[in-house]
Amino acid sequence: MSASILTILMMLVMTFAVPSAEASPISVSQNSKITTEVGTTTDLGGGDHFYVKFGSDAAFGILWGTNQTPNNIYFVSYISRYLGSINVNEPNGTVLAQKPLKIYTLYAVKLDRLIEYNDSNSNGVLNYTPAIGNTMADILGLGQQQIYKGVNLNTAWTASNWQNSTENGNLTWSFTLTATNLSYNAPLRYANDSKGEVLKSIALTFHLMASTNHVNNVSVPQYNVTMSKGPLGNDRFNKLQKDNNLTVSGNVTSYHVKWDKNITGWNADPKDKNPTIMAEYSTLVENYIPPAVTGVMASAECQKMIQATGDNGTMTAGTKVLNGTSSLSGPFSLKTPRLTFGGENTKIGTLEWVQNVTVDGKTDNATSQVTKMIPFDVQFGGKQYYGFSAIVGISYPYGQSIVQDPDISSEALTEVELTTPSTVTGISPTGSSVSVNAHINVQFSGAMNESSVNMIVNGVNEPLSWNGNNVTFSPTSSLAYNTTYSVTVSGNDDHGNSVSSVWAFTTIKDEGVIEGTIVDMNEAPLANVVVTLGNGMATITDANGHYAFDNVTAGSYKLTANMTDFQEITLNGVSTSAGRTTNLGPLNLEAISSSNASGSNNGLLIPMVVIVILALLGVGGYLVFMRKKR
C-alpha cells in the first residue's frame, strides 16, 4: 500500500490571556518595536531558530535541527506572565518587600514523530507506551494494536530564505523547512517490510504574521504573602491572600502562523490491514521564576507561592484538569479538538486542530488523544525552567492525500507598566460649621476619567465642574441650616481603577453671636451689669465688662443694659445672622448719683436768683416811690 503524497495541514493555536480592559482604548501601533532573530541556538537541543521578538518580554517562532545539530521542530512561545503584585509580610505584619509578581513561561509544541499503526479498535486511539528519546525501539503497542513503523523527526532540516512584507498593518514573514530521505524505524519486536525504504520528503511552510498595540486598563491580581521563619532562620512561604486587582498598561502583541505540512512518499506496511497514521506531539509548559522574586525567599518556597496563586500551569482536556503529577491509566480520547494550558488568572496557550479532514478528496474525521502526562524540566535561554509535558497524538485515516487547514496564533501582554491607582487626596467641606453657601470639592491624586465620576450629595446628583484633577459640586441653591449632608464620590481614573470616597458634613445653625463691653464715663469696665435682649436672653458682664450672647437666632433685637446707681441704656436694631458675630464695642453707663446732684443744685439756684432779683426790684421800686412822694 503506498501513497505518492501525504499532505497534513494542521491547526495549532497558542493563545495568551490579556485581561479585558474596562474601557476600550484607542490602539496605538507599536510595530516598530517588533524585531526578528535568526541564527543558531542551544535551546531545546539546539539548531537554528527564527523568532519574532517584542523586547525582552515575549518571543514567538520556530526552532529546528540542522546538519550540525539534528533536532525536531518546535513551535516556541516565550512570554513574561504578570501574575500580579505581591506584598511580602512577616507574620507580625512587617513588610519585607513589595514587587511585581512576574515570571517567565515557555510554551512549546514539539513535532516528535509519525507513527503507522493498525487501528484494530476503529476508534482512532493508539494504546501504546511512548518512546523515551528519539528512537522507535521503545515504542510498544498494547492490546491488539500493532505499531508497524514510524519516522522520527529529529533530523536535519533545510530552511529556505525568508520573505517579509506588510499586510493590513501586520508584519509578515514566510519560509519553508524541508527534510528528505528519512528512514523508517520499527519497534524492536516487529521487523517491518520497509527496510531500506525512506520517506522521500516532509516540508513545512510557515507564514508568520505579527503586530503589537499599546493598551491601558488591563487588570491583574494582587496578593499579600505572609512568610514565616524556618528552624535555621530562613524565610518560608506561609500563606497567600488575594487582594484587590491592580491595573496596568502595556503592549498587546498578536502572532499568527499558517502552517502547511506536506509529506511525500509514505509507504504503508503491506501487513497493516487497517493503516492509520498518528502525528505525535509533546507540549511543554515550563516556568522560570527570576531572582527579582526569589530574592525574597528560597526558590522552592517561591514555587510554593506560585502554586498557591493557581497560576503555575495546568492542562484542561475536556472536563479533565491535569498537570505533571497526574496519573493516567492509559491514553484517552479527546471529544473536542482542543487542549488549553493556563491557571486561575492567566492562560498560557491552546493547542487546537480541525476535526474534519479530507482523505483522497472525501471528508473524514481526525481523532485525537492524550497519551501521557509527565513532570518535565528544561534549560532555555541559560535558565532552568520547571513544569510538565503532555504527550498527545492526532490520528488520520490512511490515504493518498490527507488535508487539514492550519493556523497558529498567540497573544501576549508585553512591556507592562504598573500604574499607580488614583486616590482621593482632599475633600471639602468637612466639620459641623459649614456655610450654607459652600461648594463641595474633591481632589484626586491623578487624572480621572471625568465622564465616569459621580458625586451625590444627600441623594442629589448635579453636573460637576473640573479644574485639573479637582472636581466641584455646586448646589443650585443654598444648603439648609443645621443639616447633615452625606457625600459619595465614585468613578474611575484614566487607567480604569475604581476610586471612591464617602464623608459627611453639617451646616451651621441659623444663629449668630452678639457681644460687647460695658464701661463707665471714664472708660473703666463695669462688672455685673445686666444685659438683656428683646428675645428674653439675659447675661451679666464679667470683670472686664464683657458680655456675649451665643446661639442668637438671626434677626434684629433691642438690647438693654442696666445697673444700680447707673442710668439704663437701650439700643434698638441690634442684629446678627447665621455664623456672624456682632460686636457692639464699648457702651458707656452714667452713674445716677453725680448726675442727680448736679441737677438738684441747678434747680435751687435758679429760683433763688429769681427771688433775689425780684426782691431787689421790689426794694428799688419802693425807694423810687418814696422819693417822689416827698
Of 418, 436, 465, the residue at which a domain comes to its end is 418
Average pLDDT over residues 496-519: 91
Point out the least confidently predicted range of 20-24, 467-471, 521-525: 20-24
Strand ranges in 265-337 using DSSP code E only, listed in sequence order: 275-288, 314-317, 320-322, 332-333
Mean pLDDT lowest among 106-120, 132-146, 419-433, 497-511? 132-146
More confident residue, 178 or 209: 178
Q: Is residue 346 part of a domain?
A: yes
Residues 525 and 476 occupy one common structural domain:
no
Q: Which residues pair with 572 in a beta bridge?
A: none
Q: What is the pLDDT of residue 377?
A: 87
Per-residue confidence (pLDDT) for residue 255, from 0 to 100 = 72
User: Is position 496 within any domain?
Assistant: yes
Report the CATH number at residue 470. 2.60.40.1220
Give the lowest-confidence range in 15-19, 286-290, 299-303: 15-19
In a domain, 306, yes or no: yes
- Is position 365 within any domain? yes
Q: What is the mean pLDDT of the chain?
A: 80
Query: How many domains are contained in the chain?
Result: 3
Q: In what order do the strands lie in the sheet with 320-322?
A: 320-322, 314-317, 338-342, 347-352
- Tell me if 120 is assigned to some domain: yes
pLDDT tens per residue, range 5-46:
333 333 333 333 344 333 333 445 667 778 889 999 999 999
* Whether residue 475 is found in the same domain as residue 545: no
Same domain, 183 and 295: yes
Q: Tens of pLDDT along 357-416? A: 877 788 888 899 999 998 888 888 888 888 889 999 988 888 777 676 656 566 666 666
Closest CA to 557 of 540, 579, 539, 582: 582
What pLDDT, on the 0 to 100 scale, is given for residue 556?
94
Residue 202 clears pLDDT 90, i.e. is over it: no
- Would you state the cell numbers that stand for residue 537, as one nine-digit string? 436672653
Q: What pLDDT does 370 receive?
A: 92
Smallest Cα–Cα separation from 339: which of 12, 6, 578?
12
Q: Which residue has the higher pLDDT, 176 or 191?
A: 176
Q: Are residues 432 and 339 in the same domain?
A: no
Residues 431 and 324 in one domain: no
Do both 376 and 464 map to the same domain? no
387 & 478 share domain: no
Residues 413 and 428 in one domain: no
Tell me, what CATH number does 517's domain have?
A: 2.60.40.1120
Q: Residues 185, 305: one domain?
A: yes
On the question of pLDDT at 189 being above 80, the answer is no
- Which set of grid coordinates corresponds to residue 452? 465616569
- In angstroms, the CA 116 to CA 114 distance is 7
Q: Looking at 398, 418, 438, which one is the last position of a domain?
A: 418
C-beta of residue 9 within 8 angstroms of C-beta of residue 260? yes
pLDDT by residue (tens digit) across 44-77? Answer: 999 999 998 877 778 888 999 999 999 999 988 8
Predicted pLDDT at 87: 63
pLDDT score recorded for residue 609: 59
- Identify whether 148 is part of a domain: yes
Are 407 and 479 in the same domain? Answer: no
With bands split at pLDDT 50, 70 and 90, how would you rate the model's confidence at 608? low
**Nine cell digits for residue 609:** 436768683
Would residue 501 count as lying in a domain?
yes
* pLDDT computed for residue 44 by the predictor: 93
Domain of residue 529: give its range: 511-588
pTM of the model: 0.64
Evaluate whether residue 583 is within a structural domain.
yes
Grouping H, G, I as helix, E, B as strand and the rest as coil, residue 600 is helix
- Tell me: do 40 and 171 sit in the same domain: yes
The single-letter code of the amino acid at 236 is R
Last residue of a domain, one of 492, 507, 522: 507
The verdict on 461 and 386 lying in the same domain is no
Q: Determine which of 97-106, 177-186, 524-533, 541-550 has the lowest per-residue pLDDT on average.
A: 97-106
Taken as a whole, the chain contains a residue count of 630
Lookup: cell for 229: 521563619
